[in-house]
Chain A
Amino acid sequence: MKKDSKNQKISFRRIISNNIFMLRQIQQAAPFLIAALLVTEVFNRLGWVFSDTYLMRYLLNGVEEGKNFRQLAPVLLYMLVGMVVSGLAFYGYELYSRIRKTDVERHLHLLVYQKAAAVELGCYENPAFYNRFVKAIEECKKRAETFEDTLRQLEGQTISLIGNFAMILAIDPVTLPFVLLPLLGVPLTAKKNRIRYTQKMKQKEEQRVEEYSRRTFYLAEYAKELRLLPAPLFLLRRFRQSGERIIAVIQKYGFSLAALEYLEDILAEVCMTLGITAYAVWQTLGTGHMGYGDCMVIINSVSIVGYMLRNYARHFLAFQENALYIENLREFLAYTPQITGGETPVPQTGDLVLEDVSFRYEGAAEDTLRHVNMRFGANERVAIVGHNGAGKTTLVKLLLRLYDPVGTIRYGGVDIRNFPLSAYRDLFSSVMQDYKIFALPASENVLRRSAKEGDAQIVSRALELAGLKDKFDAYENGTDTIMTREFDPNGALFSGGEQQKLAISHVYAKENRFVILDEPSSALDPIAEHDMYERMFDACQHCGMIFISHRLSSAVMADRIYLMENGTVAESGTHASLMAQNGKYADLFRKQANTYYTEEAV
């Protein structure tokens, strides 16, 4: 907890500058929003101050002075008409701000999304950075709203405060000390907040346990297992224990919380409000210094001022809290991506060559790749095989320049760091092990770029090659069908194998220099796997193909095979040469082949 509060320290200057930063962003997206907000709030609050305080006093004092109904009523009527009419202007603002706020939201989100797409992949793996990034994305809209809201509240409260303060001074400055009474409660509030925070944190831990138990009992993925376990209710025990601990936490802190709040309430409601009432009554009936109107208004004004003063601190805290979140946003937006491109035009063709490449993930204890030398020819089909954790996927990520390694990777003889990043990546089509389907129309999932003239044909050919044509023909909207049920209740739900095929279809929809496939058949059954490789080899006749596979049967077809082990290339060559070499590859291959190898099969 101590660490927490330390992290949350932020200088006063930074608070101001962060909130100004947010103000600027809002100004950019909606230039008149803030001005309109400030102006409307002035009128709104002045209206309330006049009707609740000044008008009331005027009427009551008038009554006491013996003014008649005809003298007092018109003032009241003017006020009413004024409020209804000015209300209309206020609601004009409401409508305007609703629209403009969506502009602010869009502006901020686009800023953040563009940045998110530009930073390097390593940022996602750095927990501190990623945390900030998530907060920036999740909070930016809310923070703009909080900023507007706090600003408005602060302005409005200041107006009310000044109005009522002036009234108190005009009637009887002696009552001022009463206003300060609730301020005595501020340290109490601070203490209460601390206790409440501790209580919440302690409860949260336990609630996580409860939440997990709950999930275990309702998620379909646990259902089979739960029915087959001999005594699944042992999971319930934890749930009960956590519940009991929560009760103990409430018991432990609840008393102090209630006691502190009691003091606060008594200070405000009894000591201040009733204290001032007693004083005003004495001034009215005992000494006769006050009239009815003064008496009633001062009781009212003092409680308003007291309330506002207590709340002032809250608004400043809100600005401070806001500044903390805006800090995340600013730092995130200010981050300069580490992986950037150069100016050299990308050659039409060429080999990909790794020269003495080593790589270590940030925070890792040892290198994932060690002094690797490899070559991927412009028209070669290259297989990369090896155990889990040998560094195969990492290698692919380096080729795509998702990370920069130590050593050099060259394309057409030029260090790839010299090419413009997006032009370089455009050389490749890749299907990752953990491929993702987007909740976009199927055609956009295939193309993965904005649509152009003549795309329909490209899409349908790609889907045919991927073996999904029949599947989409059956859908009413064909390739315009939205994938997943993420937000379209009629979206297409695909099985794992079908999803993988869709991910693969992207390769067929693009002019590639290189195709990269990381375990592209993991969700396919053997027949589909077989077909996929046949077609892929066919499609990659005029480009380079780099694929990772556990099943060595597919490696047989490759022009070159790299066997990786512990981050190094252990063996390389064609299938025949590696078998002849009789090393690790041959051993691995035989292990897999053994079970198949029978006389009948030959």
Chain B
Amino acid sequence: MKTKEKIHVLHNNFWMLRKIWHYTPDYVIWMLVKGLVVGIHNSIDILYTNWLFNAIGKKAPLSSALRPVAAYAIYLFIYTLFYLWYQQIYNPKVRERLHIAMHSELFQQAVRIDLEKYDDPDFYNDFVWSMEQSLEHAAGLMEDTGMLISRIVASITLTGVLLQINVWIAITVLGSAVAVILLSFLQNRWKLKFQNAINPIERKSKYIRRVFMLPDFAKELRTSAVTENLFSAYQETMKEKRKTNLRYGRKVVLLEWGINSIQVLGDGGLMLLTLYLLLVRKSLGLGAFAISVNAGARMQWVLSELIRRLMKYHEHGIFIEKIIRFLNCEPKITDGSLEAEPFETLEVKNVSFAYPSGTKEGKASEKKALKEVNFTIRRGEKIAIVGYNGAGKTTLTKLIMRLYDPDSGEICYNGRSLKEYTLDSLRSRMASVFQDYRIFAASIAENVVGGDFDQEQAEAVEAALEKSTFADKLKTLPKGIDTQLTREFDAEGTQLSGGEQQKIAIARAFYRNAELIILDEPSSALDPDGEYALNQAIASYAEDRTVIFISHRLSSTRLADRIYMFADGVLAECGTHEELMQANGKYAYMFRLQAEKYAKTSS
């Protein structure tokens, strides 16, 4: 298992390096150059100190002792120039270039994958992660690789320099560095355990903080005694935090002492050794002594850095795996070859569907969302789909739009399976407004068009807004259809109310001028008057079009040519309002329950 994982780590990191090479080849080259330069830089410092103090120790003439100082000064002028150019100018720029290139690919893939994937929490987590942190890990991999190279170069040159001075010095330095690193590993294990123990506690304490901070909760805190519960939960949390700190803190702190003691003893021992070699053996120059003052610390730093960077590859590998999985995910819902013609009929044949198990919806229901559903809709019909929450109404519309494919049975458009059509052409024949419609941070026009807006489209856009009863509001906006929506991008953006947003979403459907219109609880954000106005607007627009209308309020169903009543994923009843009332089944019961109070008194 472990070896298998290791292979993946290597493979994944290489995959990412290749990707980066593909996006920004210059980044890879400069990263290598920088790694080399910085690595050598770490040893040049030591060489310089050695050179200088040997000269002093030998009582060399002033001019030759000043030569290393001058040489080092010139070197610093050049090195600093390179380093700052890379750090302040080149690196931030190339990162952003990488960001753009990489995310363009990720975005395109995000739109391509099946909607179903969003319901799969494991996949979705990876996906969100890919979107949020891919840059961090791609650029991180580059920086770590550069640093790794520089640390390798530095540790080799440093060891070389020390070996040349004296074998025992080299051994002492390496020995204490290794001991410190080993102890740090042990300490890190404990730190990690501590982190794991403290994380859930921190989450709790952050949650409580949020409750006190966010306006959402403010009313509840004032209108009930729930603060009592929150305070006692907080006290409990802090008690746990204290205990956890004590339990793990002891070990971490003790190890810290151990590490520091080894460092002190290593440095002291080294000094003792050089002193001995200098005074008793007389086999060293003063330069060696000067180096030994900080060679130990330097070596430890270089080696532990080297290992730290190496360890990062494992972490990168795990995360890059997620990106690979995401980018390699092939959608199951793919194009057919036919272009969809104008709408004539829609047949739902024996369709069953269950959300994949393990998904949020799958778990919640643990049963099929739709069971053996059959019906046919013809051009021009007005269809109402009714039922309780969770009866499968919304699922059905998702299948019709081919956001999911049914598990069994098939849905036919103009007599042929939906799968035979290209997705774009099929979807362009339908227009939908969902319960949870979204407005994008773009201009009104772009929101209506659902793509890039072109001045030639202005008339059609305005017409669609007119039909969705947004025209009055539009007149009050000085920039008209070019008005930016939401404050995401600019502080001057227009914030629309819930009802107004819904009108934009409806205009988006109208603009497409499709034959088949699917409306899922479109009036949910409106008060009764608004609902009335909207129903009128839809009715006049829909005139000779085909409409599928979903609602759990039955007020608007009487106008439908046919009503489909769903219960628990089954098409339970079907017919006109009159027929269903006469049948005296579920629909009639539901209708009466809602109508009862109105009917009693207005008669």
Contact = CB atoms under 8 A, between A and B. Distances in A.
B3 interface: no
A575 B489 contact: no
Contacts of A425: 222-223
B437 A225 contact: yes
Contacts of A218: 110, 127-128, 131-132
Contacts of B338: none
B212 A137 contact: yes
A258 B88 contact: yes
A309 B577 CA distance: 87
A590 B599 CA distance: 10
A90 B592 CA distance: 79
A137 B213 contact: yes
A117 B111 contact: no
Interface string A208-223: 1110111011101111
Contacts of A224: 115, 398, 403, 434, 436
B328 interface: no
A265 B223 contact: no
Given A68-B279, A212-B488, A601 B230 contact: no
Interface stretch (B143-151, B233-241, B367-375): B233-241
Interface stretch (A10-18, A99-107, A148-156, A372-380): A99-107
B249 to A, nearest CB: 5
Interface in A186-222: 208-210, 212-214, 216-218, 220-222
B599 A102 contact: no
Interface in A434-472: 434-436, 438-440, 444, 447-450
B75 to A, nearest CB: 10
Of B219, B275, B532, which is in contact with the most chain A CB atoms at under 10 Å from its CB?
A: B219
A422 B593 CA distance: 40
Interface stretch (B56-64, B347-355, B542-550): B56-64
A400 B222 CA distance: 9
Contact of B80 (A124, A214, A266): A266
Nearest to A271: B73
B73 A270 contact: yes
**From A98, A209, A239, residue with most partner B Cβ within 10 Å:** A98
Counting chain A CB atoms within 10 Å of each CB, the highest count among B432, B528, B596 belongs to B528
B595 A596 contact: yes
B376 interface: no
B539 interface: no
Interface in A44-68: 56, 59-60, 63, 68
A562 to B, nearest CB: 16
Contacts of A87: 257, 260-261, 264
Contacts of B80: 262, 265-266, 269
Contact of A602 (B124, B401, B532, B599): B599
B122 to A, nearest CB: 14
B28 interface: no
Interface string A104-134: 0110011011001100010011000010011
A240 B532 CA distance: 43
Contacts of B106: 217
Given A212-B489, A274-B69, A124 B218 contact: yes
A510 to B, nearest CB: 8
A345 interface: no
Contact of A525 (B218, B226, B552): B552
A39 interface: no
Q: Which of A88, A285, A550 has the most CB of B within 10 A?
A: A285
Contact of A91 (B81, B253, B590): B253
Contact of B212 (A116, A209, A223, A579): A116
A556 B601 contact: yes
A419 B268 CA distance: 74
B21 interface: no
B19 interface: no
B118 interface: yes
Nearest to B589: A527
Nearest to B257: A91
B451 interface: yes
Chain B contact residues: over half helix, strand or loop, or mixed? Answer: helix
A125 B215 contact: yes
B517 to A, nearest CB: 13
A113 B245 contact: no
Interface stretch (A177-185, A230-238, A404-412): A230-238
A434 B216 contact: yes
Main DSSP-derived SS at the A contact region = helix
B245 A231 contact: no
A592 interface: yes
Interface stretch (A20-28, A242-250, A313-321, A356-364): A242-250
Contact of A214 (B108, B132, B233): B132
Residue of A76, A113, A137 most packed against chain B (CB within 10 A): A113
A527 B589 CA distance: 10
A553 B540 CA distance: 28
A80 interface: yes
B41 interface: no
B275 A230 contact: no
B594 A438 contact: no
Interface stretch (A166-174, A275-283, A322-330): A275-283
Contacts of A266: 76-77, 80
B427 interface: yes
Residue with the greatest number of chain A CB neighbours at <10 A, chosen from B212, B558, B582: B212
A402 B595 contact: no
A428 B223 contact: yes
Contact of B89 (A88, A121, A130, A255): A255
B32 to A, nearest CB: 21
Interface stretch (B183-191, B199-207, B460-468): B199-207
B111 A232 contact: yes
B268 A80 contact: yes
Nearest to B556: A595
B570 interface: no
B57 A84 contact: no
Interface in B388-446: 388-390, 398, 401, 403, 424, 427-428, 432, 434, 436-438, 440-442, 446
Contacts of A213: 107
B60 A285 contact: yes
Contacts of A596: 554-555, 591, 594-595, 598-599
Nearest to A84: B261
A29 to B, nearest CB: 11
A334 interface: no
B272 A73 contact: yes
A448 B226 contact: yes
Contact of A99 (B84, B131, B246): B246
B461 to A, nearest CB: 13
B529 interface: yes
Nearest to B387: A525
Contacts of B558: 595, 598
Contacts of B124: 220
B62 A102 contact: no
A103 B241 CA distance: 10
A449 B293 CA distance: 64
B52 interface: yes
Nearest to B108: A233
Interface in B230-266: 230-235, 238, 241-242, 245-246, 249-250, 253-254, 256-257, 260-261, 264-265
Interface stretch (B90-98, B170-178, B470-478): B90-98
A435 B220 contact: yes
Contact of A436 (B216, B280, B598): B216
10 contacts: A69-B276, A79-B268, A102-B238, A217-B106, A218-B110, A234-B452, A432-B223, A438-B211, A553-B594, A602-B600
Give the 8 A-B CB pairs with smallest separation, nearest first: A231-B451, A593-B598, A596-B595, A595-B555, A229-B450, A449-B225, A448-B224, A243-B100
Given A87-B257, A295-B56, 4 more contacts: A117-B227, A223-B118, A440-B230, A493-B360
